[in-house]
Structure 1
């Protein structure tokens, strides 16, 4: 049986491990920090040759989770350094050509303002303006995955919908509803209730091909948007997503993995929004969402391996992590952030009085 506060302690250990192994200044510039994309840190990672913009947005989100768990001035200072590091390394402003990247940073910056008092209103405005302009009628609606591309997908539209809903204006909430309704109409499998990845369109706007890959990421962001919209209709949709995840994407309550690279973040993203569903959804599925978070976090912890500065997590939470070989997924910052996110999600439930089921 898990004892009180143990989940928070585990999240704290994960936080210290990731920060000690991955955090580096950006090119020696004072007041900056970013996560090196791999560990052990080679010269390219130390110099942030590969940036992985959206990984940094999730690193910022994790630090904000930690600050809510155990507020400290040092964490607020780190939030400021990360925000400055992202801006310095991005070179050309706050945005890039990928709408999913931009949406994730917008969500993290909005949280930094509202939850930590560290505001970047011009950055949030630039990001939201970019996302608003990304909607077209091609393929029935939705926001592009990338500028000047032919693909629209859930990974871009889901976080954009969450951001629009959290902004809270009538127009932006309407945009959030339109995004979710488009996903539901065009990219949800009627048989399983799960969201597919996305669709390609012809220049005339007609659909050329639907990408029917199923990722935990897609379910997480669609669930998160439905929870934020918080009407009876979207709560019903959220409940369906939880049921579908439980049936098709979890083994004994543990979410399946998607390997290293970008896939290392997918399970963590889903646990983040399952935790929100557990706290805010007034449906029986709220309890099931909590159980999946707890089971996944327990598997993350049980299958860790010990390396310098603390635990190292694997990409498949049901399997023991291994010390990273050259190019192995355990070396990826994304994989470590995914595990940390799952532990923070469980700690969030713990401090809100939701406890794991007795074994």
Structure 2
């Protein structure tokens, strides 16, 4: 208890400092794109690893709710917003847990590992272990991907079993040869979307890596072959969805660009004859050159509640790819600038919303999905630093 109290006290001091200083570092400072300018001097120093840790701790202080025991362990979830109006929705909860997994990767600790377990227990407590009653196949895949990523940290066989069972559920009800293949977005089978297919490739490959069952690798490649033919454009644009009448109905989004990159990355060493690296680079370049603003900062996707957390997902898979492929010299500065912009936009409490060119408001009710973006960005750049 003494150690926990000391940590909380230290964190309280830092947060108090935020309250006094806000986003200001050294006067007179003005924000220029994703960097900070002091007169004619331009700096692009990324937030430190300790600041990335602080960002995660601030997020948990505002949204993490440990609400009881779960067998011999505990259970937790993330609140939906600052007013604590219920838990996050199924898929956004899964993505917030993935953000926490990213933070563990950047700053591993037993406390973080425990909390990953508690949050996983909260998913089991809230939704059970089989998610067949969820009509959204992408929701189920996001949850399965969270489980298999958590498994690689905890080695909890229950997480692996949940990942396999729910991937299998989606495969069995969503894959068919209509439109040439691919997974349906929902059980009504009206649309096949990248938001289920690209994460399913990553999920299947991670299950294959964990189990050695080549059936999952085969399914990942089948999904990817179909997805490339249906959605990928050679300039790096990835269309988002096709309806049952074979009409493309959705354009690019940061999260689909990001998960497509992640799918290319996890397949490229297994299938060297397919130039997945070129595809991933093209998608990175398109996102940077065609979707960002003039300063290279990722777009504000605020048209719906679901879109507000998209670029936190892009940050994860883009940074994992850059680290895996050793491309920090090509893309590192761009991603660093986004981390700098996110951190510079934090409010007096240290929270970052999804609009990295505008200071996060001190008043109003921020939600936990929009504020997860910056935490993801800050922690994921430490995959290649």
Aligned partner of 1:8 in structure 2 is: 49
Q: CA deviation at 1:245?
A: 1.1
Instruction: Identify the match of residue 305 of structure 2 among 261, 275, 292.
Output: 261
The 8 Å contact of residues 57 and 104 in structure 1, kept in 2 or not, is answered as yes
Which segments of 5 or more consecutive residues in structure 1 lack a partner in the other structure? 351-359
SS in 2 for 1:333: coil
Moved more, 247-256 or 215-224: 247-256
Distance 1:248 1:171, change over 3 A: same
- Say whether residues 1:182 and 2:226 are aligned partners: yes
Give how far 1:70 is off. 2.4
Shift of 1:319: 2.0
What TM-score do you get using the length of structure 2 for normalisation?
Answer: 0.79
How far apart are the structure 2 equivalents of 1:306 and 1:246?
A: 30
Q: Which residue of 2 aligns with 1:163?
A: 203
Match for residue 98 of structure 1 among 127, 136, 150: 136
CA distance in 2, matches of 1:324, 1:249: 29
8 Å contact from structure 1 (residues 274, 290) kept in 2: no
Which position in structure 1 is the counterpart of 2:170?
131
Q: Is the 8 A contact 1:23 1:34 kept in 2?
A: yes
Instruction: Map Cα deviations across residues 267-302 of structure 1 (whole Å, 9 max, x no partner).
Output: 1111111112211226xx653332232111111001
1:339 pairs with one of 339, 360, 374: 374
Structure-1 residue corresponding to 2:76: 33
Size of the aligned set, in residue pairs, is: 327
Kindly state the Cα deviation for residue 161 of structure 1 after the two structures are TM-superposed: 0.7
Matches within 5 A, 1:299-310: 299-307=341-349
SS of structure 1 residue aligned to 2:54? helix
**Among residues 69, 72, 75, which one is paired with 2:112 in the alignment?**
75
Q: Check if 1:153 corresponds to 2:193.
A: yes
Q: Name the residue aligned to 1:245.
A: 287
**Which of the two has higher C-alpha Rg?**
2
Distance 1:265 1:250 in 2: 16
Going from structure 1 to structure 2, the CA distance change for 1:224 and 1:172 (only over 3 Å counts) comes to same
- Deviates most, 296-305 or 69-78: 69-78
Q: 2:63 maps to what in 1?
A: 22
CA distance in structure 1 between the aligned counterparts of 2:380 and 2:102, rounded to whole angstroms: 8
TM-score by length of 1: 0.84
2:157 to 116, 119, 141: 119
SS at match of 1:305: coil
C-alpha RMSD of the superposition: 2.1
Q: Which has the higher contact order (CA 8 A, sep 6+)?
A: 2
Question: Is the 2:182–2:226 contact (alpha carbons within 8 Å) kept by the matching residues of 1?
Answer: yes
Question: 2:252 aligns to what?
Answer: 214
Q: Secondary structure at the match of 1:257?
A: coil
Residues 297 and 3 (structure 1), Cα distance of their counterparts in 2 relative to 1, 3 Å cut: closer
Find the aligned partners of 2:99 and 2:368 in 1 and give their Cα distance. Answer: 12
CA deviations over 1:238-289 (Å, ceiling 9, x no partner): 111111112111222211121162212211111111112211226xx65333
Counterpart residue number, 2:237: 194
Which structure 2 segments of 5+ residues have no match?
A: 1-42
The separation in 1 between residues aligned to 2:130 and 2:227, in whole angstroms, is 30
State how 1:273-312 maps to structure 2 within 5 Å.
273-281=317-325, 287-307=329-349, 311-312=350-351
Residue matched to 2:10: none
Counterparts of 2:99 and 2:131 in 1: how far apart (Å)? 19
In the alignment, what sits opposite 1:320? 359
Contact 1:35 1:56 in 2 (8 A): yes
State the distance in 1 between where 2:364 and 2:155 align.
40
Q: Alpha-carbon deviation of 1:217?
A: 0.9
Match among 100, 107, 131 for residue 63 of structure 1: 100
**CA drift at 1:170:** 2.8
Distance 1:65 1:254 in 2: 21
Runs of 4+ in 1 over 4 A off after TM superposition: 1-4
In the aligned structure 1, how far is the partner of 2:250 from the partner of 2:107?
Answer: 41
